[in-house]
Chain A
Amino acid sequence: GEDVEQSLFLSVREGDSSVINCTYTDSSSTYLYWYKQEPGAGLQLLTYIFSNMDMKQDQRLTVLLNKKDKHLSLRIADTQTGDSAIYFCAESMGNYGQNFVFGPGTRLSVLP
Chain B
Amino acid sequence: DSGVTQTPKHLITATGQRVTLRCSPRSGDLSVYWYQQSLDQGLQFLIQYYNGEERAKGNILERFSAQQFPDLHSELNLSSLELGDSALYFCASSPGTGKDEQYFGPGTRLTVT
Residues of chain A touching chain B, judged by Cβ–Cβ distance below 8 Å, are: 30-31, 41-45, 48, 50, 88, 92, 94-105
Docked complex Cα distance between A56 and B79 (Å): 43
Stretch at the interface among B14-22, B49-57, B68-76: B49-57
Contact B58 A99 (CB under 8 A): yes
Residues of chain B touching chain A, judged by Cβ–Cβ distance below 8 Å, are: 2, 4, 33, 42-45, 48, 50, 54-58, 90, 92, 97-99, 101-102, 104-107
What are some 26 contacts across the A-B interface (CB < 8 A)? A30-B99, A42-B90, A42-B106, A42-B107, A43-B90, A43-B104, A44-B104, A48-B99, A95-B98, A96-B55, A97-B48, A97-B50, A97-B54, A98-B48, A98-B55, A98-B97, A98-B99, A99-B45, A99-B56, A99-B57, A99-B58, A100-B33, A100-B45, A101-B45, A101-B58, A105-B42
Docked complex Cα distance between A100 and B98 (Å): 12
Docked complex Cα distance between A97 and B51 (Å): 12
A-B pair number, CB within 8 angstroms: 60
Minimal beta-carbon separation of A64 from chain B (angstroms): 18
**Residues from chain B with Cβ under 8 Å of A98 in the complex:** 33, 48, 55-56, 97-99
Other 8 A-B pairs with CB < 8 A, given A98-B48, A99-B56 = A41-B104, A44-B104, A45-B101, A50-B99, A88-B43, A98-B98, A99-B57, A100-B33
Contact A45 B56 (CB under 8 A): no
Q: From B46, which residue of chain A is reached at the shortest CB distance?
A: A100
Contact B43 A105 (CB under 8 A): yes
**A42 touches which one: B50, B92, B99 (CB < 8 A)?**
B92
Docked complex Cα distance between A31 and B56 (Å): 15
**Residues from chain A with Cβ under 8 Å of B48 in the complex:** 97-99
Minimal beta-carbon separation of A89 from chain B (angstroms): 11
**Residues from chain B with Cβ under 8 Å of A30 in the complex:** 99
Known: A43-B90, A44-B104. A102 touches B43 (CB 8 A): yes
**Residues from chain B with Cβ under 8 Å of A105 in the complex:** 42-43
Docked complex Cα distance between A29 and B51 (Å): 24
Contact A102 B44 (CB under 8 A): yes
